[in-house]
Amino acid sequence: MLSLLQATPVRHLLLDSAVPGLADAAGKAGLVVVEPQAVPHGVTVVKGPWPGIRVSHSGGDRASAGPTGEPWVDSNGWRIKMARAQHPGGPIWVDAKPQPSRSSKEDYTLAFADAAAHGAQWIIGLDDELAAGVAAKKPEAMATWQRIVQGAAFFAIDPAGYNDQAVIGVLSTFSGPRSFTDEVLNNLARTRQQYRAIAAQSMTPASLSGLKGIIYTDAAEPPADVRKLVLDFVNSGGMLITGSAWGSLPKGEAQQSHPRFSVRKTGNGAIAIGGTFSDPYRVPNDAVVLVSHRHDIVRFFNSGAITPCLAASADKRRTTLHTVFYSLRPVEDTSVWVKGSYRAARIRTWSQPQSQNVRLEKRDTGIEIHLPAVAQYAMIELES
Amino acid sequence: MHPCSRRQWLKTAAAATGAAFTDPLIRRARSAPTQPVAVARCMTYGPELVPALDKLFDQLGGLGRIVKGKTVAMKINLTGAPSYRLGYLPCEDTHYTHPSVIAATCHLMMKAGARRIRLLESPWSTADPIEEYILQANWEPRDILTAGDNVEFENTNFLGNAKKYTRMKVPFGGYMFPAFDLNHSYNDCDVFVSLAKMKEHATAGITLSMKNCFGLTPATIYGAGAGIDEPSILPKGGRSLVHSGYRQPSKSAPSELHPDSPRADTYRVPRTVVDLISARPIDLAIVEGIKTMTGGEGPWMREKITGVNPGVLVAGTNCVNTDAVCMSIMGFDPMADRGTPPFERCDSTLKLAEAAGLGSRDLGKIEIAGMPVKQVMFDFAKIRRERRARG
């Protein structure tokens, strides 16, 4: 069985239970054997759902719809971003178990893509049927396994040296059981706005780089040093979106009218105060409008269900846009607009792994690219 | 959608005939008013646009007589989500009213002395400001808002800036509804303008200045997520409620006149449109066909659809007359009835509007100013025939 891992990018083998002789054999084959409860130092494991468009519980193959009527996508992106905020710099492994009803070879590609686009790696796991098929060396199962191996190589993306580009930040301690703020982050990811999770414990001025707004919905007041950093951000032109839990706020002249927020001008920026929050869907959807789509840095057209993640090198000379397309069929006629000035663009997709030049057109304050048909994943590299 | 059986259809057609085409209505149709309609050639949204529009309005007697000192409400067409395109083409080149046409019209109206212009639309499933909606289509709201000192947007898909909805009655009694509860903006104006895109339409055959007004209805009352007793706070989904009649609007609003009438959208939508434009008369109809699409009203159509460049602008102070001229420019017969293109499956909104006494669709009675129809004709009808022949 270990021969399946030869000449693949797989370097670690997680063993749930002791299989006599396997650990030794794996070690001899150059693999690091790991127990799930004792992952290598610095690695954070994120547990999450099998990514993809959720299929209706009412049966058939109908997709479930979210509050907007859009298909409900299970993605671990927000969990990965949260983990990266809490454990900056360390590798993130995603533990997402295949769901039998959604375990086509395309679904396995999605599992890699969903993790990699957000800067993590998926812990390869097979559903029972595929595992049995691979063990029996059935041709169809082996073909899927080969695709998984290709996926492991293709999605070995190292996020080091690139910083997430974001418009809105979600600030929280991210402590304790799944909280209201976790759900805000989850729903913010669904708005397609570029976002960043910021852990209050390790917040620095750099955490706010490029942001136009910050959401704070924790139940407790933030620490004094965090308050200062955020209010400095507001004074220099940013927007704070928060509720009564924030505590005292500077007085300011009332600005725009909003049914759920009182918006006050503060310094060069503004504070939107929303009382006590109860709806983790409305808060992020209000936030993207309060901050304004004027500050969008990525806009997609005809993309279907996606998660786009924009990242830039430290010198801002190179920008990459990783996009997961959750449709299992290729998506056609997709256009993407990216804010900024770029002179060249290349695209690499799961079905066309070799990087290819793609034409870009200047449009307003950004550039627009027309994508070829894309299945599951595309990475666009932009040069300034 | 509920299918309409032949028996049901005949029964309702008889009922409709009773309602719509008895003697008083035939008399109304015969005496339906006519006003001049102006037609202009304009191939691009560039520098030629403002002079072309200016001349168009001059041919109607000038904008001043319509808008001077007045508050203007202008319904634009932003159908479908802003992230939904026909291929790689921007929304404004296919199914949205182009922002340059909106801005140019505002500019000319302000120049003609309009006191205030409020740009209205009920965009897909949202109560967000229109400015935020169009930013997502890669538009810059300032390009439109700076066309004059007092230009603003209002999202009419919900209550908006008012404390209550405004009830607007259908003066002739209505085919489907006796009255509508609408966003205040449709009443708080002196002049109402429909600024539409020239397109075919899957349900209504064509969408021009009249069908553009289907979007007057707030989804909080007439939409998929409308409240049962009272309007919902936020709009959700499209207007499937009006399309298929699977339920009545929120009980706070007037319900249908004939709940036993067909539930087919091809029957309901044209009649509802006529009711709407009767309740909220159009003072100036402008149809933009500089760039548009064939095969339907938006990129979601299943037929083979393409972006096209007819290069035409049409305007008139009677919306039925204006749409009749547009139909002839599109290669269709405005006198066409159900069963004839573009009304193969649906009733003719123009015929229903004419029967309600709103305006004539008879080209022989309509004075056309500016370019002759033959010189600006873009044959949507031929493209439609060829498309359908190919299957």
Q: Is B149 in CB contact (< 8 Å) with chain A?
A: no
- Nearest Cβ partner for B138 among A303, A364, A370: A364
**Tokens for A225?**
């040093």
Q: CA of A369, closest CA in chain B: separation in Å? A: 9
In terms of domains, do A44 and A118 share one?
Answer: yes
In terms of domains, do A290 and A315 share one?
Answer: no
Look at chain A and report how many structural domains it folds into: 3
Q: CA of B81, closest CA in chain A: separation in Å? A: 10
Q: Do B88 and A333 touch (CB under 8 A)?
A: yes
In terms of domains, do A178 and A248 share one?
Answer: yes
**If 0-12 CB within 10 Å is exposed, 13-18 middle and 19+ buried, where does residue B193 land?**
buried
Q: Which of B83, B84, B85, B233 to mutate to test the interface with A (most CBs of A within 10 A)?
A: B83
Strand-pair partners of A264: A254, A271
Q: Is B31 in CB contact (< 8 Å) with chain A?
A: no
From the list A118, A192, A197, the residue with the least C-alpha distance to A159 is A118
Q: Do B83 and A292 touch (CB under 8 A)?
A: no
Q: Do A299 and B136 touch (CB under 8 A)?
A: yes
Q: Do A299 and B83 touch (CB under 8 A)?
A: yes
Q: Do A302 and B236 touch (CB under 8 A)?
A: no
Torsion (CA) A114, A120, A124, A127 in degrees, nearest 10: -40
**Tokens for B341?**
């293109």
pLDDT value of residue B28: 79
The residue in chain B having the minimum alpha-carbon distance to the alpha carbon of residue A256 is B129
- The DSSP code for A322 is E
- Nearest Cβ partner for B237 among A69, A363, A364: A69
Query: Is the Cβ–Cβ distance between A107 and A77 less than 8 Å?
Result: no
Q: Is B143 in CB contact (< 8 Å) with chain A?
A: no
Question: Rounded to the nearest 5°, which phi and psi values hold at A347?
Answer: -130, 145
Q: What does the pLDDT average to over B62-79? A: 98
In chain A, positions 357-376, which contact chain B (CB-CB < 8 Å)? 363-364, 368, 370
Q: Does residue A4 fall inside a structural domain?
A: no
pLDDT value of residue B6: 45
Query: Sorting pLDDT into bands at 50, 70 and 90, what band is B77?
Result: very high
Tell me which chain A residues have a C-beta less than 8 angstroms from the C-beta of B163.
Answer: none
Tell me which chain B residues have a C-beta less than 8 angstroms from the C-beta of A370.
Answer: 88
- CA gap A334, A199 in Å, rounded: 34
From the list B308, B305, B356, the residue with the least C-alpha distance to B329 is B308
Q: Do B299 and A335 touch (CB under 8 A)?
A: no
From the list A334, A339, A347, A279, the residue with the least C-alpha distance to A305 is A334
Instruction: Give me the residue spans of the domains in chain B.
Output: 6-390
The percent of residues above 90 in pLDDT, for chain B, comes to 89
Distances (CA, A) of B134 to B86, B90, B139, B155: 16, 12, 5, 11
Query: Is the Cβ–Cβ distance between B175 and B20 less than 8 Å?
Result: yes
Choose the final residue of a domain: A154, A189, A222.
A154
Q: Which of B138, B140, B152, B240 to mutate to test the interface with A (most CBs of A within 10 A)?
A: B138
**If 0-12 CB within 10 Å is exposed, 13-18 middle and 19+ buried, where does residue A140 land?**
exposed
Distances (CA, A) of B8 to B3, B17, B272: 10, 14, 19
Residue with tokens 């607007």: B168
In chain A, positions 67-86, which contact chain B (CB-CB < 8 Å)? 68-69
In terms of domains, do A214 and A320 share one?
Answer: no
Choose the final residue of a domain: A243, A267, A295.
A295
Tell me which chain B residues have a C-beta less than 8 angstroms from the C-beta of A302.
Answer: 83-85, 87, 299
- Nearest Cβ partner for A337 among B129, B132, B138: B138
Q: Do B88 and A335 touch (CB under 8 A)?
A: yes
Tell me which chain B residues have a C-beta less than 8 angstroms from the C-beta of A292.
Answer: 132, 135
Q: Which of A301, A334, A358 to mutate to test the interface with B (most CBs of B within 10 A)?
A: A301
Residue with tokens 């030869």: A6
Tell me which chain B residues have a C-beta less than 8 angstroms from the C-beta of A303.
Answer: 83
Q: Do B84 and A301 touch (CB under 8 A)?
A: yes
Q: CA of A334, closest CA in chain B: separation in Å? A: 7
- Return the minimum-mean-pLDDT range out of A174-188, B4-18, B114-128: B4-18
The residue in chain A having the minimum alpha-carbon distance to the alpha carbon of residue B224 is A69
Q: Do B88 and A294 touch (CB under 8 A)?
A: no
Average pLDDT of every residue of chain B? 93
Nearest-5° angle of CA B377, CA B382, CA B383?
100
The answer for residues whose C-beta is within 8 angstroms of residue A37's C-beta and 6 or more apart is none
Task: Establish whether the linkage from the previous residue to B342 is cis, with ω within 30° of 0.
Answer: yes
Q: Which of B95, B126, B136 to mutate to test the interface with A (most CBs of A within 10 A)?
A: B136
**Terminal alpha carbon distance of chain B:** 24
Q: CA of A265, closest CA in chain B: separation in Å? A: 20
SS3 label, residue A220? coil
Q: CA of A44, closest CA in chain B: separation in Å? A: 36
Q: What does the pLDDT average to over B57-66? A: 98
List the pLDDT tens digit at each of the 384 positions of chain A: 788 998 899 999 998 777 778 888 988 889 999 988 889 999 999 999 999 998 765 544 555 554 445 688 999 999 999 999 999 999 999 999 999 888 898 999 999 999 999 999 999 999 999 999 999 999 999 999 999 999 999 998 787 889 999 999 999 999 877 789 999 999 999 999 999 999 999 999 999 999 999 999 999 999 999 999 999 999 999 999 999 999 999 888 888 788 899 999 999 999 999 988 999 999 999 999 999 999 999 999 999 999 999 999 999 999 999 999 999 899 999 999 999 999 999 999 998 999 999 999 999 999 999 999 999 999 999 999
Does residue B322 have a pLDDT over 70?
Answer: yes
Choose the final residue of a domain: A154, A188, A222.
A154
Q: Do B299 and A289 touch (CB under 8 A)?
A: no
- CA gap B13, B260 in Å, rounded: 12
- CA gap A193, A287 in Å, rounded: 10
In terms of domains, do A221 and A190 share one?
Answer: yes
Q: Does residue A245 fall inside a structural domain?
A: yes
**Tokens for A181?**
């703020």
Q: Do B138 and A333 touch (CB under 8 A)?
A: no
Query: Is the Cβ–Cβ distance between A257 and B160 less than 8 Å?
Result: no
Q: Is B140 in CB contact (< 8 Å) with chain A?
A: yes
From the list B70, B13, B46, B22, the residue with the least C-alpha distance to B356 is B22
Do β-strands B37-41 and B312-316 pair in parallel, antiparallel, or remain unpaired? antiparallel
Q: What's this model's pTM, rounded to 2 decimal places?
A: 0.93
**Tokens for A379?**
């990475």
- Nearest Cβ partner for B125 among A69, A300, A363: A69
- CA gap A101, A120 in Å, rounded: 24
CATH of the domain at A272: 3.40.50.880
Tell me which chain A residues have a C-beta less than 8 angstroms from the C-beta of B87.
Answer: 302, 333
SS3 track for chain B:
CCCCCHHHHHHHHHHHHHHHCCHHHHHHHHCCCCCCEEEEECCCCCCCHHHHHHHHHHCCCCCHHHHCCCEEEEECCCCCCCCCCECCECHHHCCCCCHHHHHHHHHHHHHCCCCEEEEEECCCCCCCCHHHHHHCCCCCHHHHHCCCCCEEEEECCCCCCCCCCEEEECCCCCCCCCEEEECHHHCCCCEEEEEEECEEECCCEEECCCHHHHHHCCHHHHCCCCCCCCCCCCCCCCCHHHHHCCCCCCCCCCCCCCCCCCCCHHHHHHHHHHHHHHHCCCCEEEEEECCEEECCCCCCCCCCCEEECCCEEEEECCHHHHHHHHHHHCCCCCCCCCCCCCCCCCCCHHHHHHHCCCCCCCHHHCCEEECCHHHHCCCHHHHHHHHHHHC
**pLDDT tens digits for range B225-273:** 999 999 999 998 889 999 999 999 999 999 999 999 999 999 999 999 9
CA neighbours within 13 Å on the CB side: how many for B294?
Answer: 18
Q: Is the ipTM of this complex over 0.90?
A: yes
Task: Give the residue numbers spanning the domain of A305.
Answer: 298-383
From the list A274, A334, A349, the residue with the least C-alpha distance to A113 is A349
**Tokens for A144?**
């899927």
Does residue B287 have a pLDDT over 80?
Answer: yes
